[in-house]
Amino acid sequence: MKLLLDTSDVHAIKRIAKMFPIWGITTNPAIVAAGGVQLFDLLPAIRDALGGEGTLFAQVISSSVEGMIEDAHKLNERVENLVVKVPVTPKGLQVIKELTKQGIPTLATSVYGAAQGLLGVLAGAKYVSPYVSRIDAQGGDGAQTVSELQCLLSTHAPDKELVAASFKSPRQALECMLIGCKGITLPVNIFDLFISDPAVAVAVDQFVENWGKAFHTDCL
Ligand code: E4P
């Protein structure tokens, strides 16, 4: 399974990269805007934070077909190992189809429905991101949409990859993992919540205390 972080927080990426092999980093215009660092300054800093490795994902900004293609070219020319995120809209599909013809890898984003996601990959995108928490917030079932999309991919586009996105709670992410999601991008706070149960620290402290009492040392 590929685990990515959905963030522009370079310090958090550096911190987590020390303890975990992060496969890649996703951003979108809102995530970049929240960090306040321009994309072409941010992306090299993220790559450094990952120790020079990892796949980066950045989204087109323009709303016209020509503008999105131009954005994609800028990203592709300036940053190595980068996948261009394109929303699955009528214009976005045109962009995905054209970029695929040009050999530029894309991720179909802003996906709220399984069939919409399938169209994104059939147009040429290598990756597709259903928006789990946003689907839930609409009264839908994000995990169910992920499961349906996964089923469509395995039947119709087995070489394409799902990267589930848009999480607001650890439970939403866990549900995607349970249904066998092969790729998932987590906000930093959710990654941290998976490993911050206070009971764990209590258990670990207890081990050290028991050892110390018996052998008068805190190491082997
Ligand atoms: C990532 O690729 C998506 O753009 C992101 O997960 C969307 O998250 P949000 O729904 O919290 O904005």
pLDDT for res 193: 96
Judge whether 220 lies within some domain. no
Give the pLDDT confidence of 120-167 residue by residue, as tens digits. Answer: 999 999 999 999 999 999 999 999 999 999 999 999 999 999 999 999
pLDDT cut 90: percent of the chain above it: 100
Please tell me the distance from the alpha carbon of residue 103 to that of residue 66, in angstroms, as a whole number.
Answer: 17
**H helices present in 50-127, as ranges:** 65-78, 90-101, 114-122
Q: Report whether residue 134 contacts ligand 1, using a CB cutoff of 6 Å.
A: yes
Range of the domain at 24: 2-215
> CB of 111 closer than 6 A to ligand 1?
no
Q: Residue 137, SS3?
A: helix
Whole-number pLDDT of residue 207: 97
What's the CA-to-centroid distance between 31 and ligand 1, angstroms? Answer: 8
Closest C-alpha to 43, from 23, 57, 60, 22: 57
* Residue 218: band (very low, low, confident or very high) from pLDDT cuts 50, 70, 90: very high
User: CA–CA separation, 13 vs 30, rounded Å?
Assistant: 18
> The CATH number of the domain where 197 resides is what?
3.20.20.70
pLDDT at 105: 98
Residue 132 lies in a domain: yes
Summarize the confidence of residues 198-213 as an average pLDDT.
96
Q: How far is the CA of 110 from the centre of ligand 1 (A)?
A: 8
185 in ligand 1 pocket by Cβ < 6 Å? yes
Q: Is residue 135 part of a domain?
A: yes
Q: Is 26 a pocket residue for ligand 1 (Cβ < 6 Å)? A: yes
Q: Is residue 179 one of the residues assigned to a domain?
A: yes
What pLDDT digit, counting tens, does each position of 14-42 carry?
A: 999 999 999 999 999 999 999 999 999 99
- Per-residue pLDDT tens for 99-116? 999 999 999 999 999 999
Of 2, 14, 85, 168, the active-site residue reads: 85
Q: Check residue 48 and give its pLDDT.
A: 97
pTM passes above 0.90: yes
- Please tell me the total count of domains within the chain: 1
Inter-CA distances, 191 with 18, 19, 45, 209, Å: 14, 12, 20, 28
Average pLDDT over residues 158-177: 98
Residue at 58 is within a domain: yes
* pLDDT tens-digit readout, 61-109: 999 999 999 999 999 999 999 999 999 999 999 999 999 999 999 999 9
